[in-house]
Amino acid sequence: MGLTGGMLLVLAIAAAAGSLAAIVWAWPRLARPRPACVAARLAVIVVSQVLVTAAFLIWLNSYFAFYASWGQLAGASVGTQPVAVRQAGTTARLVVIDHSEPGPAQVQRRAEALGAGTEVVPRPGALAAPPTAGRLLQVVIKGERTGLSSGPGYVYLPPQYFRPAYARTRFPVVLALTGYPGQAASIVERLALPSAAARLMAAGRIRPAVFVMLNVSPLFPLDTECTDVPGGPQVESFLAQDVPRAIEQAFRVTASPAGWGALGYSTGGYCAAKLAMMYPDRFSAAVSMAGYYQAIPGEYVPHLWGGSRGYRLENSPDWRLRHLPAPPVSVLATSSWVGEKTLPGTLAFLREIHPPMRGYSLIIRQGGHNFRTWGRELPPSLVWLSRRLS
Amino acid sequence: MGPRGMPLMVLLAVAAAALLAGTLWLWPVLARRGAAFVGLRIALLVALQASVIGAVFVWVNRANEFYVSWSDLLGTSHPAAQVVAVAPGSVRAAAASQASQVTPLASRLVMVPGARPGGRLEPAGRLEKVRLDGPVSGIAATGYVYLPPRYSRARPLPVIVVISGQAGQGAAGYGAPRVAATAAAQIAAGRMPPAIVAVLPPAVAGRASQGCLDSPGGPQAGTFFSQDLPLALVRAYRAMPGPSGWAVLGGPGGGYCALQLATAPSGQFRVAAAAPGTGTAPPGGAAAAGPGLRRQDSVLWRLRHWPAPPVEVLLTGAGGAGQFASLARPPMTVATLGTASPAPGPSPLAAVLDWIGRALASPMAASPGPAGG
């Protein structure tokens, strides 16, 4: 039974409610003033409490989408199970962007292996059914060079993508990254990035763009901090090179760094800023929501920097600003005056920024490390990003 | 009392303990028949559960810093915040810094023997000596860029990067003038498609650096070759963007660099040529690297442990292809040159350039462009 499936939550709530009902019903039988009866009262209350707490934690996990499966919770390796996505006006279909299998026969076989409703599209120029709200595709991106796989991710194509007037337009791209721990589905369901973007595009406040939404850690539950782990997984190269190349080949998007932006919250914010600073040949702007600016050790990854202090420093945006040339990119850093422990680090990072790099801040009065805060910061951030992408 | 406060957590914990004790104490009283008593049982149990869940929530909220206030949690109204520019500098300044990555220092015509009998020399493109400023690495290097005769900014050309320890030596076999003249002759003879040829020394970051590798916390020579150079040449000469139209050729002292760049996850090159036996990192500079980086600096280690990159490699010169060829797997291909045709025919460099030109023009190197629609 899936950890985030509705079934588990329903069963947990039923068990919790059932235990409470059973206590109320059995109450008189445990009313005798004997120690054994008192112990039994305590025992049934504790059992019921455990069931209620379990139901609460399961609900909390599905709300924040920390862990998508038991395997992830246990720290085991993950498959690429499709995640249910609920959003008005759009449908999620699985698209596998896989350039290692060019032949139509292999593509067909692959689609059959993945099951019904799957669409394997090496060149999805011919996506059907132009909808009014654009299309949300579930994707798995295979890294050509790094060999890594994105796990379940999403691509949102704006309505303009399907209109004849835009048939020759190459759209700008925003790469959106989750925090850690997180699931790409959270960007769709909790941050509601596609709907926020659709609203802003419909209102003419941002220009149409393609949004690619991925887990910041393709090897989740490993916390790789978007780092090329020496002698290990090359996650930074995967996000900064493999993913853009796959998206470029699969969709009608611009190849110029002027049209590529990165956006993320928490660990995803650190990664958005770091990737833009390390790859100005790929990204020209980044939004870091409640990010941090120094490389921190990842969970379950003992040798994130391969035992090299210098390599760790290179992965710190703060250190890069002090010791390497400022890259020609714009970074918007968001935080809260009250409720965010990332505030001092954010202000220190912004102070270090110097030309040709450009820094912007969006600091709200109050807001914790949560999707509601980031959801409030999202519209001004998207407007800012849209002005910087061409 | 905010949703993250210790007072609230203590209050809830105390309430839970009191409710638990009260429930156990009042149990016999509530065991009587009647709807009122059943209702009281339910109320007491629900209050107990709620206080425990509340304490758990505050604990989780404190640990993860989710919600700072009740309005934060309940989503009530907040004043809107503004985006503020915090660093000085205009868009124009940023654009200017990007435009001046290539500074021409000198330029001269490259002459090749004419097609008509008589052997009169004719101009066939030009060779520019340039300073390349890497915006990411901060490295400034002197290099040479050969532009073929029909070069124009309107038609993007492929790029061959020649990394040679003899780059600045006029008479040397892998010096920029000889490389440019050879390329010009091959292009003029139609044996090689027009391409921009950049000739650079391997040690762009000075002698202290470890060749073309990023030294951790130090000179970022690897970044210079894999990011700054493509960025600069694409901007300044409207070269084809990598990796589909990009090749790297390792000359004397540059063989390891070429193979290292060809197998790097940054993947800027589709085609590479180098002498065999240049798979291991040059010594020096490893102290700061740590064991992990040292391991992956070996090209052979990469071939063993990373997915094979989609590159075509030519092992030049005499001698066995050795371990490198034996470790290559598809989609990587390895060809050898030199053993088959000893002396007659074109010079070794010309043969290598021909091969690179053909590889760049081959379908594998061509990037599948996105379909319309």
Q: What is the pLDDT of residue B328?
A: 87
Q: Which of B52, B89, B370 has its CB closest to that of A356? A: B89
CATH, domain A87-388, list 3.40.50.150, 3.30.9.10, 3.40.50.1820, 3.40.640.10 = 3.40.50.1820
Block residue for tokens 């073309």: B212
Minimal CA separation from A254 to chain B, in Å: 11
Block residue for tokens 């040949």: A281
- Domain identity same for B20 and B128: no
- Residue of B4, B42, B56, B72 best to disrupt the A interface, most CBs of A under 10 A: B72
Q: Which of B23, B80, B309 has its CB closest to that of A45? A: B23
Q: What is the pLDDT of residue B288?
A: 67
Q: By mean pLDDT, which of A283-292, B86-95, B145-154, B303-312 is the weakest?
A: B86-95
Which CA distances in Å does A75 have to A69, A72, A297, A316, B250?
10, 5, 17, 26, 44
Residue B373, in any domain of the structure: no
Q: Which of A27, A325, A327 has its CB closest to that of B41? A: A27
Torsion of CA A64, A67, A70, A75, to 10 degrees: -150
Contacts (Cβ under 8 Å, ≥6 apart) of A207: A172, A201, A386, A389
Q: What is the pLDDT of residue A17?
A: 93
Q: What is the ipTM of this complex?
A: 0.81
Q: Which class for B354: exposed (0-12), middle (13-18), buried (19 or more C-beta within 10 A)?
A: middle
Phi, psi torsion values for A322, nearest 5 degrees: -85, -25
- Domain identity same for B139 and B201: yes
- Domain identity same for B114 and B218: yes
Summarize pLDDT for A329-346 with one digit per residue, the tens.
Answer: 999 999 998 888 899 999
Q: Which of A303, A356, A376 has its CB closest to that of B97? A: A356
Minimal CA separation from B188 to chain A, in Å: 32
Range of the domain at B175: 97-361
Q: By mean pLDDT, which of A172-181, A207-216, A242-251, B106-115 is the weakest?
A: B106-115
Phi, psi torsion values for B30, nearest 5 degrees: -85, 0
Cβ–Cβ contact A328 with B under 8 A: yes
In angstroms, the CA B30 to CA A295 distance is 58
- Domain identity same for B20 and B143: no
Q: How far is CA A30 from the centre of its chain?
A: 50
Q: What is the pLDDT of residue B135?
A: 85
In angstroms, the CA B152 to CA A336 distance is 51
Q: Which of B31, B38, B265 has its CB closest to that of A237? A: B265
Token pair for B294: 């040292």
**Spans of all domains in chain A:** 6-64, 87-388
C-alpha dihedral sign at B292, B295, B299, B304: negative
Residue B80, in any domain of the structure: no
Band the pLDDT of B219: cuts 50, 70, 90.
Answer: confident
Residue B92, in any domain of the structure: no
Token pair for A288: 């870091």
Instruction: Count the Cβ atoms, other than its own, within 10 Å of residue A82.
Output: 16
Q: Which of residues 69-88 of A touch B (CB under 8 A)?
A: none
Residue B370, in any domain of the structure: no
| B138·A325 Cβ contact <8 A | yes
3-state SS class at A3: coil
Cβ–Cβ contact A106 with B under 8 A: no
Q: Which of B14, B41, B74 is the last residue of a domain?
A: B74
Q: Is the pLDDT of residue B346 over 80?
A: no
Q: What is the pLDDT of residue A150?
A: 87
| A126·B23 Cβ contact <8 A | no
| A384·B83 Cβ contact <8 A | yes
- Domain identity same for B144 and B260: yes
Size of interface A-B (CB pairs under 8 A): 289
Token pair for A294: 């120094």
| A328·B4 Cβ contact <8 A | no
In angstroms, the CA B317 to CA B324 distance is 14
Short-list B158, B318, B304, B308, CA closest to B243? B158
Q: What is the pLDDT of residue A343?
A: 94
Minimal CA separation from B311 to chain A, in Å: 10
Spell out the long-range contacts of B168-172 with Cβ–Cβ below 8 A and sequence spacing 24 or more.
Answer: B168/B142, B168/B144, B168/B201, B172/B252
Token pair for B86: 């915090």
| A57·B56 Cβ contact <8 A | yes
β-pairing, A135-141 with A92-97? parallel
Residue B88, in any domain of the structure: no
**How many distinct structural domains can be found in chain B?**
2
Summarize pLDDT for A68-127 with one digit per residue, the tens.
Answer: 667 666 553 333 332 223 332 233 344 555 444 334 444 444 444 444 334 444 333 334
A95 beta partners: A119, A139
Query: What's the pTM value of the predicted model, to 2 decimals?
Result: 0.82
Minimal CA separation from B174 to chain A, in Å: 29
In angstroms, the CA A182 to CA A65 distance is 6
Residue B90, in any domain of the structure: no
Do B71 and A366 touch, CB atoms closer than 8 A? yes
β-pairing, A330-338 with A135-141? unpaired
- Domain identity same for B291 and B197: yes
C-alpha dihedral sign at B111, B113, B116, B117: positive
- Domain identity same for B22 and B113: no
Cα-trace Rg, chain A: 23
Summarize pLDDT for B177-210 with one digit per residue, the tens.
Answer: 999 999 999 998 888 999 999 999 988 877 656 6
Q: Which residue of B has its CA nearest to A252?
A: B370
Helix, strand, coil shares, percent, chain B, to 5: 40, 15, 45
Omega before residue A221 within 30° of 0, cis = yes
Length of chain B: 373
